[in-house]
Chains A and B, each alone.
Chain A
Amino acid sequence: MAVSAAEAPPPVIQHPPVAADRTSTGLNHRKVLMWAFLGSDCMFFASLISNFQVQRGRSLNPPYPKDIINIPFTSVSTFALLMSSLMMVLALAAIQRGDVRGMKIWILACAFLGALFLGGQFYEFTGFVQSGLKLSTNLFGASFFILTGFHGTHVTIGVIWLISVYYAAARGRITQKDSLSVELAGLYWHFVDIVWVAIFTIVYLLGT
């Protein structure tokens, strides 16, 4: 067994103890963690988008993108997601002012629009499947569904997170000084929106 140094008496304190909450950069741990995670998440989506780009035009059989993609419909979902980001940032602004009730309303609106987006995706996917495009049908099906599915999973996690924040706020656990919790959820949500900006352009607009 290791020699257990009887916890030796510490040296005399020659200066006031360092505050327990200080960080080297002055930035909160969880915020730094979230940004590190988002940087990493960029690489996930980069791999998926690379795959989509590389597999373009190589499907051996229909349906091909132009047969099946519905730009007007997807534009509406895109709009919903964009507006949800606005709701999110308004929720953050509210909690930073101390307006918990306002924050709850905006965050619920954000979650609602996110769910609307998901509903749109679901409807779109079932439509594709009925038109004959499944994961295993061709390369377009595989690449499309795995990319948008991965994104959709991110959105779903986000919606659950937002509702959890709402729930916590409803129980009085989130007040003005806890605005970081809302901010972290917001960072994640905006990232998911940014990725959709890329997907909408590359997969839908440029893909057909």
Chain B
Amino acid sequence: MATLVRPAPRVELTAMPRPNVETGLLSWIMTVDHKRIGILYGASAFILFLIGGIEALIMRMQLAQPNGKVVDADTFNQLFTMHGTTMIFLVIMPLSVAFFNYIVPLQIGARDVAFPRLNALSYWIFLAGAIFINLGWVIGQAPDAGWFGYANLTERPYAMGMNTDFWVLGLQILGIASILGSMNFFVTIINLRAPGMRMMRMPVFCWMTIVTNILMLLAFPVITIALTFLLFDRYFGTHFFVPSGGGDPQLWVHLFWIFGHPEVYILILPAMGMVSQVLPTFARKPLFGTPFVIYSGIAIAFLSFGVWAHHMFAQGLGPTADAAFAFSTMAIAVPTGVKIFNWIGTLYKGHLWFTTSMLFAIGFIAMFIIGGLSGVMHASPPADLQQNNTYFIVAHFHYVLFGGSMLGIFAGIYYWYPKAIGRLMSEKLGKWHFWLTMIGFNLTFFPMHWVGLDGMPRRVYTYPDGMGWNDYNFAETIGAFIIALSVLIFIYNAVWSMRYGQIAGNDPWDARTLEWSIPSPPPHYNFAEIPIVASMDDWWRQKYGAGHEGPPGTGAHPPAMAGAAEDVHHADEHAGEAHVHIHMPDPSYFPIMVGIGVFIMALGMITNYWVSLPGFVVVMAGVYGWCFEPVNAPEPGAAH
């Protein structure tokens, strides 16, 4: 039987030993376990999803009728800014990271990520940023210059309040969290794959993870610098983006979108990866053209750095630049299309099992196609001149981000919830969730294509009567409330299933990848023994032998979802138990300490610079404590 061994710590430079808690609130605060950190990310992101959703509902109430009086223009500015910033940075990204955290080590056959404490730090810094950026609401000065904060609207004297300061500093903090996390996952996937798991045998979700993290590594520095310039303009009197000082507002726009475009691929690639795992499982067929799905992901990431100025077609870049970026934007549709055809190919002639997860995955394909089509329409600069800054754009990005990323993420939640919790979610409630989402979502966002082309601008807090937009807006508001209802059903399902859901066992879906070979929920150490991998979808091979990838139904039909905990598919093996020492990293105080220090430093920037000083001290103390705290055991090259 495997035991967890904690050898006595060596005498170190500090007297403080590592904490040794396994239960209770403190254990969550000091955890370095990737599964717990994944749950922390997921839970936080979901709460922020509700906040962002409420912001959206208030906007929709304001827009339900012409000359609405629900909120004033100023508040509306704050609402759309925070809704966008929240959904992008505080919901979709951390939900994706939640899955990276929980699933990637399980899929590559590892016991944790490469740097567990760094992983925890990324979470705490993320939380600090999330709280910081929402602090504005508390004083009624939430960020209000749009989620992409164009200069020089964000400069003094146009943005005199603290709104933009919350935004700039909050995003800086979130950027740090993202960069730290992406370095961690990068090393994890490069270095901690099980023996025999060559890159091309790695699950597609892990491929999309590493591609996303490379994008984060390379794109976030650009926004960090742009925000630094803006910070200096606002605080230290520079004129990077201020024309009267010789600066150029367009520089902000370029720098922002050089980050911003890879960012939207960061938002969609993880969901694409999840869907690439869900579809084969429930089609009872391997993913069609797996190498092409992988190569397309890489191509998309590569090209994503070359298309940014398609967000700037209305800025007067000139015909040469417009044409070049139009070309590259249309080019990037090609690998995206390849993926879509591969997913459809996976479904074709599959033995389809319509679980909720599968429904969401299919919904993802359909909605993403619609969003992609409107995207290709934007790729043409002349067409974009009409569409830009109208609701047509709003329709496009909601189709790809909600209909795409969020539906993909829901597919992932329904798929992997049994693994994390040990119980299945209710299929009945799940289907209600799905269909209400589809109805509500399409009712909300499809009419926006029309009103947009009809000329309704985005980010307007109201519109006059007699434009012909009234009915559409009213319908959109109804749709928004239907979405809200569906989310409530989901919450109920998730909570109810924790207690009353059918016990899942190791492998309720008869799936293909390694995470299904271990118990649900996984033990602290994930794998009692690190598997030796011989092919892609190695768990399927272990169950059914090589060469059983053919037509569906070959000896593999959906297992009766019997309540009995399914055993691992190895033979009864209680004979010959070996005594395995598994060293797992101990919890640590220092990640949360550094996170708190970062938060205080940011607070100092907007209140009184002297406040930043203790924040800095806390950060430095945390970093030094971290460097010198006792490691479990001297393990070269392994996590510590």
Contact = CB atoms under 8 A, between A and B. Distances in A.
Direct contact of A and B (CB under 8 A): yes
B218 A40 contact: yes
B636 A21 contact: yes
B10 to A, nearest CB: 10
B637 A138 contact: no
A23 B236 contact: no
A90 to B, nearest CB: 25
A119 to B, nearest CB: 23
Interface stretch (B314-322, B325-333, B516-524): B516-524
Interface residues of B, number: 74
A24 B228 CA distance: 38
B407 interface: no
Contact of B187 (A21, A33, A55, A143): A33
A21 B238 contact: no
Contacts of B245: 60, 138-139
A3 B521 contact: yes
B637 A51 contact: no
Interface stretch (A5-13, A103-111, A189-197): A5-13
Contacts, number: 184
A2 to B, nearest CB: 5
Given A17-B530, A24-B197, A27-B191, A48 B568 contact: no
A13 B580 CA distance: 9
B529 A24 contact: no
B577 A9 contact: yes
Contact of A24 (B190, B221, B232): B190
A59 B246 contact: yes
Contacts of A206: none
Nearest to A61: B246
Contact of B195 (A9, A22, A143): A22
Nearest to A177: B636
Interface string A1-43: 1111101111111010110111111011100110011011101
Residue from A5, A24, A47, A141 whose CB has the most chain B CB atoms within 10 Å: A24
A51 B421 contact: no
Interface in A42-69: 43-44, 46-48, 50-51, 54-55, 58-60
Main SS of the interface on chain A?
loop
Interface residues of A, number: 52
Contact of B221 (A2, A3, A41): A41
Nearest to B108: A24
A188 to B, nearest CB: 14
A146 interface: yes
Main SS of the interface on chain B?
loop
B21 interface: no
A10 B2 contact: yes
Contact of A47 (B114, B221, B422): B221
B529 A13 contact: yes
A24 B193 contact: yes
A7 B527 CA distance: 11
Interface stretch (B79-87, B247-255, B547-555): B247-255
A142 interface: yes
Contact of B577 (A12, A36, A40): A12
Given A25-B191, A135-B232, A11 B240 contact: no
B222 interface: yes
A33 B222 contact: no
B217 A39 contact: yes
Interface of A: 1-5, 7-13, 15, 17-18, 20-25, 27-29, 32-33, 36-37, 39-41, 43-44, 46-48, 50-51, 54-55, 58-60, 135-136, 138-139, 141-143, 146, 171
Interface of B: 1-2, 13, 114-115, 179, 183-184, 186-187, 190-195, 197, 217-222, 224-226, 228-229, 232, 236-240, 245-248, 251, 255, 420-423, 498-499, 503-504, 519-521, 523-524, 528-530, 532, 565, 567-568, 570, 573-578, 580, 583, 635-639
16 contacts: A1-B499, A4-B422, A4-B521, A8-B567, A9-B577, A10-B529, A11-B568, A18-B530, A20-B635, A29-B638, A39-B218, A44-B225, A50-B255, A139-B245, A143-B240, A146-B232
Given A5-B523, A58-B246, A135-B232, 5 more contacts: A5-B521, A7-B2, A24-B192, A51-B240, A136-B237
